[in-house]
Structure 1
Amino acid sequence: MSDATGTALIVGAGGVVGRTVLDHFTGLDGWSAIAASRNPPETVDGARRVAIDLQDPADCRRRIAENADVSHIFFAAYRPAPDPVSEIEANLSMLVNLVDAAEAEAPGLRHVNLAHGQKWYGNHLGPYRTPAKEDDPRHMPPNFYYDQQDFIAARQKGKAWTWSAVRVQAPLGFSLGSPMNQVLIVGLYGSICRALGQPLNFPGPAGCFDALYQVTDPDILARSMHWMATRPGCANQAFNVTNGDLFRWRNLWPRLAAFFGVPCGEVRTRSLVDLMGDKGDVWDRLVAEHGLQSYKMDQLVNWRWGDFIFGSTYDNVSSTIKIRKTGFTNCMDSEECYLNALERLRNEKIIP
């Protein structure tokens, strides 16, 4: 890891990616960390908390002026919108407002990192070229990732600061209220199966059960973002990041069933939205019986996201050769990563 130091502003600090990066920089020697979002996480020791309205240019400038020591921005904010075109306006404007403010009020700005994902390659639209590489042709827009990267690349020209973009696949971090938190979906689904005496059936189609898939450990994600934000050889580029291996749900599923202490079921294609729609009371009973943290089911999971994850009948594979060539070689067994992520949820009394 680079020996660079500075002040990391983590924008969208309550999300899966943002919280992961915040935990990494908090307490790291030589670094100060700032948790920034409309509602910053309450439980952050060792980091400043900044409530910022990214849709308000004046508020952005005021908050950055109050934290003018910012040197590195990690932009992991996301604003949902009803359609892809509306997503562009919502998410591009937040980035523009923040960069405008940082250029005006943070004279020591050195780097801006964008948190993107495999949606860059069109994995939300259907089968795509795999293994996906950073210079693959773009799919037909709209895609707000494209607009954000085009903006930051154009704005950076001739400036002292640099940019980078991480394209991560399925980060297995923990956050509340995030629609893209895969490990919580598996954690609650498996826990409810056990409570009801049901086997762990696979809710997606057989094609998903057998397709190749990748995930990313939170530590690897945070280290990679730190790496690309501080290594000169990574400046002004995008990089795929995963654990570096592949797995199939078919092979992982028995290990997940064993974790929950239930029989391994079979492929039973059901919408999680429909299947779990009446299970809120079951979850409430589990919370009370096991002394779990008192979150309602809809505070933890978005079952529609689960239907998307388990509805993909094609390979989701990214090449990580590019970042490896820069010297970043961290990797992890993804089946072990999944079990570790679930164990963390259990240890933190999120699941029984």
Structure 2
Amino acid sequence: MSDSRKVALVVGASGIVGRAALAHFAAAQDWQVLAAARRPPADSANVRALSLDLLDAEDCRCRLAEHPEITHVFFTAHLKAASAAEEVGPNLEMLRNLVDALEAEVPGFQHINLMHGQKWYGNHLGTYRTPAKEDDSRHMPPNFYYDQQDFIVARQRGANWTWSSLRPQAPLVFSLGSPMNQLLVLAIYGSICKELGLPLHFPGSRGCYEALYQITDPQLLARSMEWVATQPQCANQAYNITNGDLFRWKNLWPRLAQFFGVEPGEVQTLSLERQMADKGPLWERIVHRHGLAEHPIDKLVDWRWGDFIFNSAYDNVSSTVKLRRSGFHDCRDSEECYLEALEQLRRERIIP
């Protein structure tokens, strides 16, 4: 094996983005891969597991000291808390502990990529400037993305390593234990509509139904992670990343209904959190009858997240011009991407 082969450490490897990154780098010929998490995936032919507690500085140093070969780090970890303010401290601490350990114990460390998102622009707070651009003004904090970014910029000054960050919108991938995932919200909702013989009514607001929206194919996202982490012109820069197109739910909805084998229905605004609160036993019956993977419904989906997604009655649009100018030109058709992601859930026996 060539000494020039790159070694990727994927941190948060069991999460939504981490899982996509892991699959990408494991399939690449010129990468070795370490998968780090508190509960890392099992070793495979191309991936070595690394148990890592990011909130324990000493554990980080001890574990990383065993892997001085690491060259590139892909930081996708996120610790959810009860409020945005409470998220700041632990998410900043995880990054600080990791960088401390990398600088102290990993002499070949070259680059760290931070995974942020469109919440950078305040899309979780309401209407925001669109298309969002990387140099737009920040919204009123708290937002742990800002704290991580400020830390990494200050820490990198004068160092012999570089950083990059990506801001995707809605990566479509299955990840158990990550219920804030709109793909699973839609997949479980549509499967329950099919089971009950109901049309696939749009459960959110008409404004959301008609607004512009964007998503990110996980494979495309993983390719962009490799790109910004290895191209010199991308060093110390932040980039938006999406499929590169836009869609409206009202146009996609009939195709989604066809996938589930039900009528499209109408806009029927309701609270998924309330309406789905009693659907656990129904989901168990669906799982047993169709021989699906036995995951409790509350481990798959957070209906409150669905209520947020489907009631965002404003455009979600970000510019990807900066990334394209760097030389990355991959794109996807988002409607096709959505249908392919649902089909993958079907193949994996997550939905019938």
- TM-score interval, normalised by the smaller of the two chains: over 0.9
- After TM superposition, the score normalised by the length of structure 2 is 0.97
CA distance in 2, matches of 1:208, 1:37: 35
Alignment correspondent of 1:23: 23
Alignment correspondent of 2:165: 165
1:135 aligns with 2:149: no
CA distance in 2, matches of 1:17, 1:98: 18
**Percentage of matched positions with identical amino acids:** 63
Mapping of residues 1-352 of structure 1, within 5 Å = 5-42=5-42, 45-352=45-352
Q: Is the 8 A contact 2:179 2:299 kept in 1?
A: no
Give the deviation of 1:185 after TM superposition. 1.0
Give the deviation of 1:69 after TM superposition. 1.1
Q: State the superposition RMSD in angstroms.
A: 1.1
Secondary structure, in 3 states, of the residue corresponding to 2:319? coil
CA distance in 2, matches of 1:290, 1:41: 27
Q: Is the 8 A contact 2:203 2:272 kept in 1?
A: yes
Give the deviation of 1:229 after TM superposition. 0.2
Secondary structure, in 3 states, of the residue corresponding to 1:73? strand
CA distance in 2, matches of 1:219, 1:27: 11
CA distance in 2, matches of 1:5, 1:316: 39
Q: Is the 8 A contact 2:114 2:166 kept in 1?
A: yes
Report the number of matched residues: 349
Unaligned runs of 5+ in 2: none
Q: Is the 8 A contact 1:16 1:180 kept in 2?
A: no
CA distance in 1, matches of 2:204, 2:44: 36
Secondary structure, in 3 states, of the residue corresponding to 2:185? helix
Secondary structure, in 3 states, of the residue corresponding to 2:9? strand
Residues 64-91 of structure 1, C-alpha deviation per residue, up to 9 Å, x if partnerless? Answer: 1112211111001000112222111010
CA distance in 2, matches of 1:303, 1:259: 21
CA distance in 2, matches of 1:43, 1:123: 37
Letter aligned with residue 250 of structure 2? R
Structure 1 runs of 4+ off > 3 angstroms? 42-45
Secondary structure, in 3 states, of the residue corresponding to 2:265? strand
CA distance in 2, matches of 1:240, 1:74: 16
Unaligned runs of 5+ in 1: none
CA distance in 2, matches of 1:143, 1:11: 20
Residues 222-257 of structure 1, C-alpha deviation per residue, up to 9 Å, x if partnerless? Answer: 000100000000000000000000000000000000
Give the deviation of 1:303 after TM superposition. 1.1
Residues 134-171 of structure 1, C-alpha deviation per residue, up to 9 Å, x if partnerless? Answer: 00011111111001011001111111110000000000
Q: Is the 8 A contact 2:16 2:174 kept in 1?
A: yes
Secondary structure, in 3 states, of the residue corresponding to 1:228? helix
Secondary structure, in 3 states, of the residue corresponding to 1:25? helix
CA distance in 2, matches of 1:221, 1:43: 23
Give the deviation of 1:45 after TM superposition. 4.8
